[in-house]
């Protein structure tokens, strides 16, 4: 990103959390404000290209590293564990970020949220935590991609692990971030090698950005929040329009649950053929499709 185009700094959130915040302004008067919310493991630098594209559309852009991710405050001596006590902690951080840090004036912000960030944003919208101008979600984590039988077994194992004191341990089969185990071929995130490699090159220059697998506590919290999200009834009126962008080759989150919640809440859904989980890190044709969809959606709100 060009010099002086923005700033990245730390804010003290409730609970004395040091949260890393980014803020960028266009050179000309802004059309509005976009708040960019990341998925699990992600960090501000991963979205440099997206931030530039939003600025080119004359949006003021805000983002943050979620608590426990990027360079925001970690809670472990081994800071690469993906852990949270409950998803309500993320919701409180989002509410504080929107209402106390950004302090939008006039038109409420547009939220652009990915995966776990999309889950948190959807809960914030349905539970009335704050007001948005609109919500665009890419590959939302409305559920995890397990069949019913496997999900029941995993949920039981995770709950028992949490109960016997394993909440802060890595989920079985996961562990620390290890660049030697990172391979483009067969990855579930993107079909674009250059963007895939750029993320890990950034981590190699700033190793503290890396995050490993989730803990038993994080996964248990995720299952509880997913259950709650799916149980929320449609409100009498929606405070803003919602667009869900579904990657048809996604194996990281449930594609089927995206369709179910869009039907339940009458949210607009657009499918992206051949796209893997990370739409904004995908190949140019897929990203071009996304930006065309983004422009059409925002033109009507």
Check the CA dihedral 192-195-199-202 and report its sign: positive
Over the stretch 77-135, which tens digit does the pLDDT of each residue have?
556 788 999 999 999 999 999 999 998 667 789 999 999 999 999 999 999 988 899 99
pLDDT at 13 over 60: yes
Over the stretch 189-227, which tens digit does the pLDDT of each residue have?
999 999 999 999 999 999 999 999 999 999 999 999 999
User: Could you tell me the pLDDT band of residue 277, with boundaries at 50, 70 and 90?
Assistant: very high
Q: pTM of the predicted model, to two decimals?
A: 0.95
Residue 203 is encoded by which pair of tokens? Answer: 């981590």
- Residue 96 φ then ψ, to 5°: -65, -40
User: Could you tell me the pLDDT band of residue 76, with boundaries at 50, 70 and 90?
Assistant: low
Query: How high is the pLDDT of residue 2?
Result: 44
Q: Give, for 64, the enclosing helix (H) or strand (E).
A: strand 59-64
In sequence order, what E strands does 77-139 have?
110-114, 134-138
Provide the percentage of residues in the chain whose pLDDT is more than 90. 80
Check the CA dihedral 159-164-168-169 and report its sign: negative
Three-state DSSP class for residue 85: coil
SS3 content of the chain, % helix, strand, coil (to 5): 40, 20, 45
Q: Which residue(s) pair with 67 in the sheet?
A: none
pLDDT at 265 over 80: yes
Residue 191 is encoded by which pair of tokens? Answer: 């079909």
The DSSP line for 141-187 is -SS-S--HHHHHHHHHHHHHHHHTT-TTSBPTT--S--GGG--STT-
Ranking 163-172, 202-211, 245-254 by mean pLDDT, the lowest is: 163-172
């Amino acid at each position: 990103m060009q010099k002086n185009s923005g700033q990245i700094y730390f804010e003290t959130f409730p609970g004395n959390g040091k949260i890393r915040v980014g803020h960028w302004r266009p050179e000309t008067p802004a059309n509005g404000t976009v708040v960019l919310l990341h998925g699990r493991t992600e960090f501000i630098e991963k979205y440099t290209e997206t931030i530039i594209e939003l600025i080119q559309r004359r949006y003021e852009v805000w983002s943050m590293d979620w608590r426990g991710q990027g360079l925001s405050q970690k809670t472990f001596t081994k800071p690469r564990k993906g852990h949270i006590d409950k998803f309500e902690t993320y919701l409180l951080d989002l509410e504080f970020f929107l209402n106390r840090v950004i302090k939008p004036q006039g038109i409420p912000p547009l939220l652009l949220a990915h995966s776990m960030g999309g889950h948190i944003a959807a809960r914030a919208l349905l539970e009335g935590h704050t007001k948005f101008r609109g919500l665009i979600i890419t590959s939302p984590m409305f559920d995890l991609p397990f069949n019913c039988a496997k999900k029941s077994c995993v949920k039981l194992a995770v709950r028992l692990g949490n109960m016997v004191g394993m909440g802060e341990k890595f989920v079985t089969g996961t562990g620390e971030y290890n660049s030697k185990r990172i391979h483009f071929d067969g990855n579930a995130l993107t079909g674009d090698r250059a963007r895939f490699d750029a993320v890990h090159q950034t981590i190699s220059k700033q190793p503290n950005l890396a995050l490993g697998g989730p803990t038993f506590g994080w996964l248990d919290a995720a299952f509880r929040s997913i259950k709650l999200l799916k149980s929320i009834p449609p409100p009498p009126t929606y405070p803003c329009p919602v667009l869900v962008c579904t990657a048809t080759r996604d194996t990281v989150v449930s594609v089927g649950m995206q369709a179910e919640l869009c039907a339940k809440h009458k949210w607009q859904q657009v499918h992206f053929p051949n796209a893997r989980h990370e739409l904004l890190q995908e190949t140019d044709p897929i990203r071009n499709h996304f930006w065309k969809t983004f422009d059409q959606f925002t033109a009507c709100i």
